[in-house]
Amino acid sequence: MYLDFFGLKENPFNLVSDPRFMYYSESHCDAMSHLLYGVRERKGIILMLGEAGTGKTTLVRATLEMLKSTRVTTSVILNPILSRTEEFFEAMLRGFGLDGFKHNNVEMLDVLQRFLRQQHRRNLIPVLIVDEAQELSKPLLEQIRMLSNLEQDGQKLMQFVLASQPEMSDRLDTFELRALRQRIVVRCRLKPLNAQESWQYIHSRLLIAGSDGRQIFQPEAVEVMYTFSGGIPRLLNSIADNCLLAAYARNEKLVDPHTVQQVVEHLELTEVTVDTGSPAAIHQDVMRASATWKEVVNDIRTGQVPEALKQFVENLQSPTQMKPAQALSAAVQRGE
């Protein structure tokens, strides 16, 4: 409703995870670096923790985009609420493109092992990514631990990325999961945005959505948004979207603190204790046309990732590959 009014081409604050709108805060850059490092160096199990709404799913999708056309083959489970190990194996094999090989656990494990050995011979890196991993049952977590033991020539045959909410740490501290905890070599944590990052986050999404650079949010308005969101991107999106709608309804081209206050009351959000700093100073820092900011804006507009992250995938480039299911079928026919 408000796109033309604010000079936008698409919704800048959609709650759907979209890697095009990925904002690389210091915490997000650090987390992606850990994910790519763990995969590249075949470290086995990689754990990424983050509160709900901090952008774990978006980061996973952005990482997958970066890994396209590399030596990494991925299987993704976005909804891990699975009741049986058979469902887990079926979802994993389907993600690797191995449909039609599902009968029972023993047979599916045999198919998986042959696939992993084949990938190893071709110097490819299979990765299973599980989002919302805190929902995994203990039997499935134990299954992941056992699969992480598969090795050949001193290398892990399969890598695992578990994206989870912080309560996973408490689960891993239990006696029953101590063996899994010991196998998690790489850990990272997504943190909420700070005050300046929240400013940059809002402006970056407006730019990606086609904004011509006009100011839409007053600095003091963003301060209120940050105070009630605690720097959680999902909450910032919800507040910002409702603020634009409210301002549009009033025919106001600029979102002020009063509008934000009404929105957060309507959303029944409570104030979070955060260090906001000086809103005017933060606004100046963000909008200053420094070389660094120009580079960030250019990366945002062109859909690129920060240069510092690109080095992590340089040695993962891969020639055109045969599709996994076709390759496995050919190997089976040859008796491999």
Q: Which of 3, 31, 13, 1 is nearest to 305 (CA)?
A: 31
Q: What is the pLDDT of residues 65-106, one digit of tens each?
A: 888 778 889 999 987 787 788 888 989 999 998 876 667 888
Q: Which residues contact 19 (CB under 8 A, 6 or more apart)?
A: 58, 61, 62, 64, 65
Which domains, ranges and CATH numbers included, belong to the chain?
A: 26-192+311-333 (3.40.50.300), 193-305 (1.10.8.60)
Tell me, what's the pLDDT at 47?
A: 94
pLDDT at position 274: 54
Predicted confidence (pLDDT) per residue in 268-325, tens digit:
988 875 554 554 544 444 443 334 434 444 544 444 555 555 655 665 665 555 566 5
Pairing of strands 72-77, 125-130: parallel
Mean residue pLDDT across the chain = 82
Q: Which residues contact 179 (CB under 8 A, 6 or more apart)?
A: 145
Q: 54-63, 244-253, 327-336: which has the highest mean pLDDT?
A: 244-253
The pLDDT tens digits for 21-43 are 888 888 888 888 888 888 888 89
pTM of the model: 0.80
CA distance 45 to 148: 7
